Amino acid sequence: MQSSPAQSTPAAQTERGLRFFQRLSFEETLFGWLFIVPAVLGLLFFRLGPVFASFYLSFTKYEIITAPQWIGFANYTKLIKDALWLRSIEVTLWYVILFVPLSLTFAYAVALLMSRNVRGITTYRTLWYLPSVVPVVASATIWRWGLNPEFGPINYPLKVLGLPAPRWLTDPDWIVPSIVFIGLWGLGNSVLIFLASIVSVPRTFYEAAEVDGANGFARFRHVTLPLTSSIIFYQLIVTVINSFQVFGVAYVLFVSNPSASSAGPNNAALFYVLYMFRNAFGYFRNGYASAMAWILFLVVMLLTIILFYSQRRWVYYETEGGGS
Partner 1 sequence: MTAIRFRQTVLRFLIHLTLAGGSAFMLVPFFWLLSSSLKAPHEIFVFPPKWIPDPVRWANYREVFEVVSVVRYTTNTMIVTVFSTLGVILSSSMAAYSFARLRFKGRDIMFGLILSTVMLPYVVTMIPVYILFTRLGWIGTFLPLIVPDWFGGPITIFLLRQFFRTIPLELEDAARIDGASRPRIFAQIILPLSRSALTVVLVLSLLYNWNDFLAPLIYLHKRDMFTLALGLNALQHFESGLDWTHYVMVLATLMVLPVIVIYFLAQRAFVEGIVLTGLKG
308 binds partner 1 (CB under 8 A): no
Please give the residues from 115 up to 154 whose contact with partner 1 meets the rule CB under 8 A: 116-117, 120, 123-131, 133-139, 141-146, 148, 150-153
Q: How far is Cα of residue 128 from the mean position of the Cα atoms in its chain?
A: 19
- Segment 34-53, which members bind partner 1 (CB under 8 A)? 34-36, 38-43, 45-51, 53
Does residue 203 touch partner 1 according to CB under 8 A?
no
Q: Which is nearer to partner 1, 1 or 11 (CB)?
A: 1
205 Cβ contact list (under 8 Å, min separation 6)? 223, 227
Binders of partner 1 among 159-188, rule CB under 8 A?
Answer: 159-160, 185, 188
Site string for partner 1, 271-300 (x = CB under 8 A): --x--x---xx----x--xx--xx-xx--x
Question: Which window, 33-41, 78-86, 89-97, 205-213, contacts partner 1 (CB under 8 A)?
Answer: 33-41
CB 266 within 8 A of CB 172: yes
Distance in angstroms (rounded) separating the CA atoms of residues 147 and 142 = 9
Distance CA 246, CA 89 (A): 12
Among the listed ranges 6-14, 161-169, 171-179, 227-235, the one in contact with partner 1 (CB under 8 A) is 227-235
| CB closer to partner 1 out of 43 and 173 | 43
Q: For residues 137 and 248, is the Cβ–Cβ distance under 8 A?
A: yes
Return the HEC string of 212-234: CCCCHHHHHHHHHHHHHHHHHHH
Q: Considering beta carbons, is residue 112 or 176 the nearer one to partner 1?
A: 112
CB of 87 to partner 1, least distance (A): 18
DSSP state, residue 279: I
Q: Does residue 67 touch partner 1 according to CB under 8 A?
A: no
- State which of positions 71-90 bind partner 1 (CB under 8 A): none
- The DSSP-derived string for 140-200 is HHHHHHHT-TTT-TTHHHHHHTT-----TTTSHHHHHHHHHHHHHHTTHHHHHHHHHHHHT
